[in-house]
Amino acid sequence: MSDSPPRPSGMPVISAKGIIVRYHRRTVLDVPDFDLRDGETHAVLGPSGSGKSTLMRVVGLLERPTEGSVSLDGVAVDVGDRRARLSMAAVFQNPYLFKGTVEQNVAYGLALRRVPADERDDCVARALDRVGLAGTQRESALRLSGGEAQRVALARALVLEPRILLLDEPLSYLDPLIKRRLVGDFSEILAAEGVTALYVTHDQDEAMVVADRVSIMREGRIVRSGDVDEVMGVPTSEWVADFIGMDGSLCGRITTAKEGIAEIAIEGLLVYACTDLQPGADVLVGIRPEDVTLFRTADGIPASSARNQLHMRVDTIEHMGSTERVSLVTNGLRLAASVSRASARELGLERGVEVIALFKATAVRVAPAHGVPAGV
Amino acid sequence: MEVFWKAIAEGTRLLAHGDPYTYGIIALSLRVSGISLLIASAIGIPAGYLIGSRRFRGRSLVTAVVNTGMGLPPVVVGLVVYMLVSRSGPLSQAWTSWLGGIMPRILYTVPAMILAQVIISLPLVVGVTLAAVGSVPMDLRLQARSLGASGWHEAALTIKEARRGVMAAVAAGFGGIISEVGAVSMVGGNIEGSTRVMTTAIVLETNKGNFGKALALGFILIGIAFLIMNGMTWLQQSGGRYER
């Protein structure tokens, strides 16, 4: 329902500067600079209590920060600025459907915007169709299943055609099956609507599916922010690496570079990566566990296009449901590999077993060491 | 047991024959308690919303005062109102000087009875409303705000969500005043045709030894209270099909 003129893509729609939130003298949020760019889905990722929901409430003008300011299109706005709030809509962890029918819920924001009743009906029907709940208008909103309720909550926000959509852990209450289905739907809907979205979650898989950019939060601060592949691929600190499921952060230096393939020296080992960075550059390197394939050394290695073959030793094995997370070590370099339980059994993986870790140069994420903030 | 059957028969006869005395006191009872309840609800529901939904310094104290008020003895309320509105009352001088020498003559009138009943029912309406509003999750209001709700919209939605509790608050307020006798008899004076209501009439008939008539009026009062409370319960429960 926003009547703002179209904006060039990528420009900040919302900027938050010098944000500090204190509860009873305890600082729960300290974010010097945060922006949400036009048309992007920006995921804010972090463990429980890291301040990500507080950041969303501040950016969404639902909570006044103790210090700092928020601006919309470069104009300072505040919690009391209802016009600014009317350009946003939120979906929370709990769908918080109101007593009444599905239709009354989805039409709630439209009624607040004084959209005529007949026009409202059409908008509601379209929004429900968009979230796969066509024809449920007359049903009681409070008798829906968890997945349906969350879809209604999404429809209730999308029907407003907000410029900014705020999503606070919208899938965390749902069971894994519905969650998997909905995360794909959310991603599709956000892309199709072209809406600018702030997506708060503690689930990195969810963030990787929906987001263009990611900010990782810890103890009220943003410790890593950037393009989703870069942030999720190149940890800048042990904590960030641990949080995104990688085994430590790797620091190295590019020794040679030829035809887009760089040779990076890390802890006395050489790793090949696809990067435009030049020799002499200090870099941070990340290899996602799912990109690493393991071979037993006794088996011999078939011819492969993977340029990286490291002789390593199994340090620990962690059960992760249907997969095993194998922590590997050599010369002080640590790496994680994700293998199925069946593969781990067939390879006879256990602590101390020698293996060869295979991964492609394209699977190695590289970022300049000076270009990213040091993690906390 | 016979006396009860006779009382029921007498009550039915009074109503069936359109006894002007009986209908007069029924009408006055409903008028006094109805107006009192309207005033108490108009003040008490918003006050209950504000206390129940806002976090402010002294909120616990205010809540404790309201809860104490829910147990105010009507006879004490009657006494205070009497002292306020009686020309010779110890509180009337301050009150009169505050009004610039004008002393409203409302003792033994319907307005005095309404004033007393508002004071009795107000804490009941506020107390139950604030408990009902407090049970609506704060995040639900945040959700409404995030969809563009103003403060008024938020209040309307919260009261709608707490509708059952708010209706219980109104019912509690009504129950507290339709059956009270202490305050209305002190400030109303039980004047026939002017300030006599059901409860004061029952006391009078009892004092005169007319137990049958007193009991008949008592049954009529219970019947009226039952009908009104039933209506309120219906309102409270309606829309239940949209709830869990």
The domain spanning residue B60 has which CATH number? 1.10.3720.10
- Tell whether B64 is within 8 A of chain A (Cβ): no
Do residues A313 and A327 share a domain?
Answer: yes
Residue identified by tokens 């206390």 is B51
Residue A376 placed within a domain: no
Do residues A104 and A247 share a domain?
Answer: no
- Tell whether B15 is within 8 A of chain A (Cβ): no
Residue A39 placed within a domain: yes
Residue B244 placed within a domain: no
Domain enclosing residue A360, as ranges: 239-368
Please tell me the distance in Å from B124's CA to the nearest CA on chain A: 25
Do residues A222 and A261 share a domain?
Answer: no
Q: Under a CB-based contact definition with an 8 Å cutoff, are residues B127 and B66 in contact? A: yes
* pLDDT surpasses 90 at A223: yes
Do residues A207 and A256 share a domain?
Answer: no
**How far out from the chain centre does Cα A69 lie?**
25
> Region B117-142: what's the mean pLDDT?
95
- Tell whether B164 is within 8 A of chain A (Cβ): no
> How many domains does one find in chain B?
1
The rounded distance, in Å, linking the Cα atoms of B168 and B157 is 17
Residue type at A345?
R
Q: Which helix (H) or strand (E) holds A230?
A: helix A228-233
SS3 A275: coil
Residue A2 placed within a domain: no
Please tell me the distance in Å from A205's CA to the nearest CA on chain B: 26
> Region A240-254: what's the mean pLDDT?
83
pLDDT band at A5 (very low <50, low <70, confident <90, very high): very low
CB contact under 8 A, A160 and B147: yes
pLDDT band at A4 (very low <50, low <70, confident <90, very high): very low
The rounded distance, in Å, linking the Cα atoms of A214 and A238 is 18
Which 8-state DSSP code applies to residue A342? Answer: H
- Whole-complex ipTM: 0.80
- Tell whether B160 is within 8 A of chain A (Cβ): yes
Do residues A65 and A112 share a domain?
Answer: yes
> How many domains does one find in chain A?
2
Residue B243 placed within a domain: no
HEC assignment per residue over chain B: CHHHHHHHHHHHHHHHCCCHHHHHHHHHHHHHHHHHHHHHHHHHHHHHHHHHHCCCCCHHHHHHHHHHHCCCCHHHHHHHHHHHHCCCCCCHHHHHHHCCCCCCCCCCCHHHHHHHHHHHHHHHHHHHHHHHHHCCCHHHHHHHHHCCCCHHHHHHHHHHHCHHHHHHHHHHHHHHHHCCCHHHHHHHCCCCCCCCCHHHHHHHHHHCCCHHHHHHHHHHHHHHHHHHHHHHHHHHHCCHHHCC
> Region A332-354: what's the mean pLDDT?
90
pLDDT band at A371 (very low <50, low <70, confident <90, very high): low
Residue B242 placed within a domain: no
- Tell whether B241 is within 8 A of chain A (Cβ): yes
CB contact under 8 A, A108 and B142: no
Q: Under a CB-based contact definition with an 8 Å cutoff, are residues A104 and A141 in contact? A: yes
Do residues A126 and A205 share a domain?
Answer: yes
> Region B34-47: what's the mean pLDDT?
97
Residue B201 placed within a domain: yes
Percent of chain B with pLDDT over 90: 75
Residue B115 placed within a domain: yes
The rounded distance, in Å, linking the Cα atoms of B52 and B66 is 12
Residue A157 placed within a domain: yes
Residue B19 placed within a domain: yes
A-interface mutation test, from B135, B141, B147, B153, most A Cβ less than 10 A away: B147
Residue B77 placed within a domain: yes
Q: How far apart are the first and last CA of chain B?
A: 45
B148: chain A residues, CB-CB within 8 Å: 82, 85-86, 89, 109, 112-113, 160
- Tell whether B135 is within 8 A of chain A (Cβ): no
Question: What is the pLDDT, as a whole number, of residue B100?
Answer: 76
Question: What is the pLDDT, as a whole number, of residue A9?
Answer: 56
Q: Under a CB-based contact definition with an 8 Å cutoff, are residues A29 and A57 in contact? A: no
Q: Residue A337: exposed, middle, or buried by beta-carbon count in 10 A (0-12, 13-18, 19+)?
A: buried
Do residues A216 and A285 share a domain?
Answer: no
* A229: its two tokens: 């592949």
Question: What is the pLDDT, as a whole number, of residue A191?
Answer: 81
The rounded distance, in Å, linking the Cα atoms of B34 and B177 is 9
Q: Residue B2: exposed, middle, or buried by beta-carbon count in 10 A (0-12, 13-18, 19+)?
A: exposed
The rounded distance, in Å, linking the Cα atoms of A69 and A109 is 26
B145: chain A residues, CB-CB within 8 Å: 62, 85
Please tell me the distance in Å from A105's CA to the nearest CA on chain B: 10
Q: Which of A89, A94, A141 sits opposite B146 (nearest CB)?
A: A89
Do residues A340 and A357 share a domain?
Answer: yes
- Tell whether B9 is within 8 A of chain A (Cβ): no
Query: Taking CB atoms and an 8 Å cut-off, how many pairs form between chains A and B?
Result: 65
pLDDT band at A209 (very low <50, low <70, confident <90, very high): confident
Residue A373 placed within a domain: no
A166: chain B residues, CB-CB within 8 Å: 146
CB contact under 8 A, B241 and A140: yes
B160: chain A residues, CB-CB within 8 Å: 98-99
Question: What is the pLDDT, as a whole number, of residue B157?
Answer: 95
Final residue belonging to a domain, choices A233, A267, A291: A233
CB contact under 8 A, A99 and B160: yes
Q: Which of B137, B147, B160 sits opposite A89 (nearest CB)?
A: B147
- The per-residue pLDDT for range A120-168, each reduced to its tens digit, is 999 999 999 988 899 999 999 989 998 899 999 999 998 999 999 999 9
Domain enclosing residue B87, as ranges: 2-237
Please tell me the distance in Å from B235's CA to the nearest CA on chain A: 15
- The per-residue pLDDT for range B168-191, each reduced to its tens digit, is 999 999 999 999 999 999 999 999
Residue B207 placed within a domain: yes
Do residues A128 and A54 share a domain?
Answer: yes
Closest chain A residue to B149 measured between Cα atoms? A112
Q: Give the strand pairing for A250-258 and A354-359.
A: unpaired
In DSSP notation, A50-69 reads SSHHHHHHHHTTSS--SEEE
Do residues A71 and A114 share a domain?
Answer: yes
Q: Which of A96, A109, A142 sits opposite B148 (nearest CB)?
A: A109
* pLDDT surpasses 80 at B241: no
**How far out from the chain centre does Cα A38 lie?**
17
Q: Residue A318: exposed, middle, or buried by beta-carbon count in 10 A (0-12, 13-18, 19+)?
A: exposed
Residue identified by tokens 């999308």 is A158
- The per-residue pLDDT for range A257-299, each reduced to its tens digit, is 988 899 999 888 899 999 888 899 999 888 989 899 998 876 6
Identify the CATH number of the domain in which residue A165 sits.
Answer: 3.40.50.300
Do residues A228 and A293 share a domain?
Answer: no
* pLDDT surpasses 50 at A375: no
Final residue belonging to a domain, choices A202, A233, A264: A233
Closest chain A residue to B140 measured between Cα atoms? A96
The rounded distance, in Å, linking the Cα atoms of A205 and A347 is 27
Q: Calculate the alpha carbon distances from A183 to A178, A199, A322, B158, B222 in Å.
A: 8, 11, 20, 31, 59
pLDDT band at A176 (very low <50, low <70, confident <90, very high): confident
Q: Under a CB-based contact definition with an 8 Å cutoff, are residues B146 and B79 in contact? A: no
The rounded distance, in Å, linking the Cα atoms of A277 and A274 is 9
Q: Which alpha helices (H) appear in A76-145, and where do they start and end?
A: 82-85, 102-106, 108-112, 117-130
A62: chain B residues, CB-CB within 8 Å: 142, 145-146
Residue type at A29?
L
Q: Under a CB-based contact definition with an 8 Å cutoff, are residues B154 and B144 in contact? A: yes
Q: Under a CB-based contact definition with an 8 Å cutoff, are residues A181 and A174 in contact? A: no
> Region B113-140: what's the mean pLDDT?
96
Q: Under a CB-based contact definition with an 8 Å cutoff, are residues A338 and A319 in contact? A: no
- Name the more confident of A140 and A331: A140
- Name the more confident of A248 and B239: A248
SS3 A249: coil
The rounded distance, in Å, linking the Cα atoms of A349 and A317 is 8
CB contact under 8 A, B161 and A101: no
If phi > 0 it is left, if psi is from -120 to 50 it is alpha, else beta; for residue B155 that is alpha
